[in-house]
Amino acid sequence: MSTGCRNAPVLKERGQREVFCGLTGIIWLHRKMQDAFFLVVGSRTCAHLLQSAAGVMIFAEPRFGTAIMEEKDLAGMADANAELDREVARLLARRPDIRQLFLVGSCPSEVIKLDLAKAAERLSVAHAPHVRVLNYSGSGIETTFTEGEDACLASMVPVLPQTEAKELLLVGALPDVVEDQALDLLARIGVSPVRCLPARRTDDLPAVGPNTRFALAQPFLGETAAALTRRGAQRIDAPYPFGAEGSTLWLKAVAAEFGIAPEVVDQVTAAPRARAEKAVAAAAETLRGKRIFFMPDSQLEIPLARFLTRECGMQAVEIGTPYLHADIHGAELDLIAPGPVLSEGQDVDKQLDRVRAARPDLTVCGLGLANPLESEGLATKWAIELVFTPVHFYEQAGDLAALFARPLRRRAALSGLAPHLEAAE
């Protein structure tokens, strides 16, 4: 069997990176963990980013906020720690439903070396046992977009209780509906017990130990995997559960670890797999033979390229990713036929030059680049939708393919608009 792209040369670039920072993960993490609050210790920029990434204007009182540092916090006129303690006390008094508080470091808090780990310890003592306080960095200087989730989950691992039980740990924040589907499939295959990280509520946090086997549901959780490994847990290596093929391979790898034959998986998954294949086939009508270019964004690029090339008949021109981890992306790279350029990191202007030269049928990119490329006549898919939409496992495989087909179908539907779509100046 060929090793696909595993040994293909990688174009490494260092220049301007048009990516979100790790704080963005708070947008989905706070919805997943329903009794957690995410307090960013940062600047007005951090607050503005969260507001903008969260859909620009949604105004309830959310379970996240920013403690905005002011001049006096920097100049040492006020003790930043005392200020932080006061804000946390006020926040927790107002929100008695909060059981878990994350202090999230930002670029400015890192640069002034505000010790949030120490602050979290201090505040944990002050607010125990009702509230546990943890910390991680979501700063742009430390983390790129989905690495924020990785840093958050990794911060939880050291405080998880110890267990000797042989359990499967499903790692990665999935929408509840998808998580329920995965748990149901695993139960029917006979994998049990299964725990999730993150848990929906603090009381349901999993335990971990040398007999824990864990499977990543997301391809960007390298630090979390390392932290779990340090606790003695063992990772089950597999492609990620995108598309019918990815879902099946992922489930089979898990089943094998629990001594269950692949035939059992085939039998349990026959019906959902057939549904997924049928749904994917409908979108593949639009996608087959089309050329796709991935700008680096969420680290989902490699598994998605595998799904789109193998199950939807697309051709990958370039697969860009912020980071390429041979370890956690290896099983995916094995499946991708040689040909596409693999790139890691970014120099955005140079990469856009490559997009313009290649003129792909579809470019997967961030929101800052989508309309500018559309106005040049290049169809795009906003990458961020891929982390906010349920896309894992069989029942979502058709939706995942449709996310890529829709921009192409829309373009075709509007192609009669003469003379051509003029973008706003």
Partner 1 sequence: MKLAVWTYEGPPHVGAMRVATGMQGLHLVLHAPQGDTYADLLFTMIERRGHRPPVSYTTFQARDLGADTAGLFKSACQDAYDRFKPEALLVAASCTAELIQDDPGGLAETMGLPVPVIPLELPSYQRKENFGCDEAFLQIARALAQPMARSEQVSCNILGPTGLGFRHRDDITEIAALLREMGITVNMTAPMGARPSDIARMGAAHFNVLLYPETAESAARWAEKTLGQPFTKTIPIGSRATRAFIEEVRALSGSTAPVDDSRLRQPWWAASVDSTYLTGKRVFIYGDGTHAMAAARVARDEMGFEVAGLGCYNREQARPLRALAREMGVEALVTDDYLEVEAAIEAAAPEMILGTQMERHIGKRLGIPCAVISAPVHVQDFPARYSPQMGFEGANVLFDTWVHPLVMGLEEHLLAMFRDDFEFHDAAGPSHHGGHAPQAVHQDAAQPAEPAPAATAAAAEGGSMPPEAAPPSPVTPATNNVIWLACAEKELKKIPFFVRGKARRNTEAFASQQGLSEISVDTLYEAKAHYAR
Nearer to partner 1, 301 or 332 (CB): 301
Closest approach of partner 1 to the CB of residue 403, in Å: 10
* Residue 244: partners with Cβ closer than 8 Å, 6 or more residues away: 273, 276, 277, 280, 311, 394, 397
Q: Which residues lie across from 40 on neighbouring strands?
A: 66, 104
Closest approach of partner 1 to the CB of residue 189, in Å: 30
Of residues 5 through 44, those in contact with partner 1 by CB under 8 A are 15-24, 27-28, 30-31, 39, 41, 43-44
Tell me: does residue 110 bind partner 1 (CB under 8 A). Answer: yes
Closest approach of partner 1 to the CB of residue 141, in Å: 4
* Residue 12: partners with Cβ closer than 8 Å, 6 or more residues away: 343, 344, 345
Nearer to partner 1, 1 or 60 (CB): 60
Stretch binding partner 1 (CB under 8 A), from 109-117, 119-127, 283-291, 410-418: 109-117
Closest approach of partner 1 to the CB of residue 96, in Å: 8
Closest approach of partner 1 to the CB of residue 353, in Å: 10
- Nearest-angstrom CA–CA distance, 21 and 139: 6
Stretch binding partner 1 (CB under 8 A), from 140-148, 176-184, 206-214, 242-250: 140-148
- Nearest-angstrom CA–CA distance, 103 and 78: 19
What the block records as the tokens of 60 is 């309830």
> Under a CB-based contact definition with an 8 Å cutoff, are residues 73 and 80 in contact?
yes
Measured in whole angstroms, the distance separating CA 167 from the mean position of its chain's CA atoms is 24
Closest approach of partner 1 to the CB of residue 154, in Å: 16
Tell me: does residue 107 bind partner 1 (CB under 8 A). Answer: yes
Stretch binding partner 1 (CB under 8 A), from 103-111, 176-184, 222-230, 392-400: 103-111
Residue of 141, 159, 271, 282 interacting with partner 1 (CB under 8 A): 141
Tell me: does residue 225 bind partner 1 (CB under 8 A). Answer: no
> Under a CB-based contact definition with an 8 Å cutoff, are residues 245 and 307 in contact?
yes
- Using CB under 8 A as the binding criterion, the count of chain residues that bind partner 1 stands at 82
Of residues 271 through 310, those in contact with partner 1 by CB under 8 A are none
Of residues 143 through 202, those in contact with partner 1 by CB under 8 A are 144
- Nearest-angstrom CA–CA distance, 117 and 109: 12
Tell me: does residue 140 bind partner 1 (CB under 8 A). Answer: yes
Nearer to partner 1, 258 or 382 (CB): 382
Tell me: does residue 83 bind partner 1 (CB under 8 A). Answer: yes
Taking the CA atoms of residue 379, residue 383, residue 387 and residue 389 in that order, the dihedral angle to the nearest 10 degrees is -10
- What DSSP character marks residue 186? H
Q: Which residues lie across from 381 on neighbouring strands?
A: 364
Tell me: does residue 203 bind partner 1 (CB under 8 A). Answer: no
Nearer to partner 1, 87 or 395 (CB): 87
- Nearest-angstrom CA–CA distance, 59 and 382: 23
Of residues 332 through 351, those in contact with partner 1 by CB under 8 A are 349
Reduced to 3 states, what is the DSSP secondary structure of residue 283?
helix
Closest approach of partner 1 to the CB of residue 250, in Å: 23
Beta strands of 63-166 (E only): which ranges? 64-68, 100-105, 132-137
Question: Is the dihedral angle over the CA atoms 360, 363, 369, 372 positive or is it negative?
Answer: positive
Of residues 368 through 387, those in contact with partner 1 by CB under 8 A are 368-372, 374-375, 382, 384-385
- Nearest-angstrom CA–CA distance, 219 and 302: 9
